[in-house]
Amino acid sequence: MDSTKPTLLDHIEEMLAPEFGKGRVANYIPALAMVPPNKFGMALHFVDGRVMTTGDAFEPFSIQSISKLFALQFLISQVGDMVWTRVGKEPSGGTFNSQILLEQEHGVPRNPFLNAGALVLTDMLMGLNRHREDVLLNFLRALSGNKSLQVNQVVAASELEHGHVNRSLGHLLKSYGRIEADVERVIEVYCAQCAIEMSCVDLAKAALPLANRGRVAGHYGTVLTESQAKRINAVMLTCGMYDTVGSFAYRVGLPAKGGVGGGIVAVAPGKYSVAVWSPELDLSGNSYVGTAALAYLTSLTRSSIF
């Protein structure tokens, strides 16, 4: 991996200094609460293969909801538009774990990035793969080229222990017949997916096909068609950032997906994929410093899609 033009990211990191200390590290499970708040890493992967990194870009962290993006990518690559028979693709206007819309819409989750939607995706993944639980992990190892990716079992167990809202969503989905597998098993597999650890470098590389017309980084061929890549980007932009979809598009201008581990993956179609990590979260559960970093990035490089 060759690292060029470090000055851009270094410049962004300097500009971010005043942003630290304003958010709060996720504390709903102990394993996440112990992550040092001042961690910061960023990796930019251009479609021509160049990679830029700064800070803790090589340090693995909990990808959490970013896993939803790759679950969607995997399913689209396997079954195509059939995914949309089981989840919608409209923004919810609400928070990530609300049951209200789910009840109003008879158990069809509004989009794949709500927890309810991700549980349906997990159920689909399990159905496609004889309930093997490491499907997504293997997909991420292949995409990132990093065979050492692992599930953090302490985090997974802790998520499972505190996963009452997800269980509630799972059983509600089951009551509508929207989940085929055993609910508890779906929750287990979902929690394991969220507890996968990856670095910014891993994530940027894994997301590159979305920026690169479906082609994986290096010489491995395509994982999505160009049209599929574009459409996943569209769903990310309109649904990826919970209840701040509009503000994020306004400020950053890239399709993106964040997780409560403090990571955000974003895509500048035709240009680059980028991953940023800073554990302090804003009130909506997105990385506070990470969002600012991406805003500086698109502003400095004029790479907003708008």
Residues that bind a copy of itself (CB under 8 A): 88-94, 98-101, 103-104, 110-111, 164-165, 167-172, 174-175, 183, 229-231, 233-235, 237-239, 243-247, 249-250, 253, 255, 269, 304-306
Indicate the residue type of 110: R
Q: Phi then psi for 280, rounded to 5 degrees?
A: -70, 130
Rounded least distance, CB 98 to a copy of itself, Å: 7
User: What's the residue count for the chain?
Assistant: 306
Rounded least distance, CB 35 to a copy of itself, Å: 23
Rounded least distance, CB 296 to a copy of itself, Å: 13
Rounded least distance, CB 176 to a copy of itself, Å: 8
Catalytic residue among 51, 216, 235, 260: 260
Q: Considering the complex, state which of residue 253 and residue 285 has its C-beta at the smaller distance from a copy of itself.
A: 253
Indicate the pairing of strand 272-277 with strand 41-46: antiparallel
Q: Considering the complex, state which of residue 37 and residue 258 has its C-beta at the smaller distance from a copy of itself.
A: 258
Closest CA to 72 of 24, 113, 18, 25: 113
Q: Considering the complex, state which of residue 13 and residue 105 has its C-beta at the smaller distance from a copy of itself.
A: 105
d(CA 109, CA 297) in angstroms, rounded, equals 33
Identify whether 242 is a catalytic site residue: yes
Identify whether 168 is a catalytic site residue: no
Largest CA distance in the chain: 54
Secondary structure (3-state) at 9: helix
Q: Are 166 and 118 in contact (CB under 8 A)?
A: no
Quickly tell me which residue has 């923004």 as its tokens: 91
Identify whether 296 is a catalytic site residue: no
Q: Considering the complex, state which of residue 137 and residue 229 has its C-beta at the smaller distance from a copy of itself.
A: 229
Identify whether 190 is a catalytic site residue: yes
Q: Considering the complex, state which of residue 45 and residue 89 has its C-beta at the smaller distance from a copy of itself.
A: 89
Rounded least distance, CB 209 to a copy of itself, Å: 13
As a whole number of Å, the end-to-end CA separation of the chain is 31
Catalytic residue among 25, 47, 51, 65: 65
d(CA 168, CA 229) in angstroms, rounded, equals 32
Any idea which residues carry the catalytic annotation?
65, 68, 190, 242, 260
